[in-house]
Chain A
Amino acid sequence: MAFVNMKTKEVQAKIVFYGPGRGGKTSNLEYIYSKFRERIKSEMVSIKTHGDRTLFFDFLPFDIGKIMGYDVKVQLYTVPGQVKYDATRKLVLKGVDGIVFVADSQVEQRKKNVLSLKNLQENLSTYKKSIFKVPLVLQYNKRDLKDVPLLPIEVMDKDLNSQLKVPSFPASAVTGHNVVPTLKKIISATMASLQNVLK
């Protein structure tokens, strides 16, 4: 539910990083924040527990410049990944314009990825949105891990993307590998979906 201000020629769009707990959603935002520090005027907001787990969300406003004559501001959010925080996770999805699903590449997280994606589909449907229609990008995170078995990309594609058929990126939020391409992809998909509003 992007807001288009015809008077100031400004667009605000909401992009949410979704996925299982400890999958690297907050790390994605932290990398973006450090990478684009000079372009992000405000502080990153994190509502987290004492154990450093996301309790409600992280928030990062990101000014991406002019698109089609509009000054575009994307608001990046993460959701808490832990299963027990479903009520707050649902609240963060309200008014979402684009989603990055951050999956964990570790073999032992395989089931959690699938459950979290299913949870996304359910939560979107409470806002009458279809996971097949919303701008969506998959990120297979933690490809940098060396000491634990990782799922082959083909298996992750089969598990998560066989029906969705959306763009996907193997990535590492910690090293920054493919974090920016993931972001660029979801921004362009989101803006494309807003095109008929921005005529």
Chain B
Amino acid sequence: MGSEYDDNASFTDYSLGPEQLEVIEQVLEEDLIESGVHSVMLIDMAGNIIAQHDNGEAQHDLYSLAALASANFAAVDTMAKIVGEEEFSLLFHKGESENIHFSKVNPEYLLITIFGKDVALGLLRLKVAEAIQKINDVW
């Protein structure tokens, strides 16, 4: 088969140690949950949950949510390429009482935020941008 294949591609171990995960969870809590976000997940593009935090009240089926969120992001990203965009910068679904915001952290990770009416979208985007910067500093 030769060199066009990456033999290690089937098991990427992200080399995230417990300390790094600790820092990421702390960022999710302090930057997002304490700003009024109901639930937040750092997931990878394959739909695995890397880290998660919520306000103790949100009871979502997180594994299904992660699978659907990564698939949704991938589908939208592919649509962007088809219409000639590098990416769509704002991915946000608005509901009656809950909203979902998607943000790309880097080519491998997504940050999924679930929040209610009490958090303004502008503030959320600001907080998410700050959190992403801190998460990227962990690597």
Query: Which A residues lie at the B interface, using CB under 8 A?
Result: 1-7, 12, 14, 42-43, 45, 56-57, 59, 61, 73, 75, 77, 87-88, 91-92, 94-97, 125, 127-130, 132-135, 193-194, 196-197
Contact = CB atoms under 8 A, between A and B. Distances in A.
B48 A91 contact: no
Contacts of B12: 1-2, 95
A128 B11 contact: no
A1 B5 contact: no
A193 B63 contact: no
A94 B21 contact: no
Given A75-B63, A130-B5, A91 B71 contact: yes
B45 A95 contact: yes
B10 A133 contact: yes
Given A56-B71, A91-B78, A133-B7, A45 B64 contact: yes
B138 interface: no
A77 B67 CA distance: 9
A194 B45 CA distance: 19
Given A45-B64, A75-B47, A6 B16 contact: yes
Contact of A133 (B5, B14, B21): B5
B18 A6 contact: yes
Contacts of B7: 133
Interface in B48-76: 48-50, 61, 63-64, 67-68, 70-71, 74-75
**For the complex of A and B, 10 pairs with smallest distance between CB atoms:** A95-B46, A3-B48, A7-B18, A61-B63, A128-B6, A12-B48, A91-B74, A42-B61, A1-B12, A130-B5
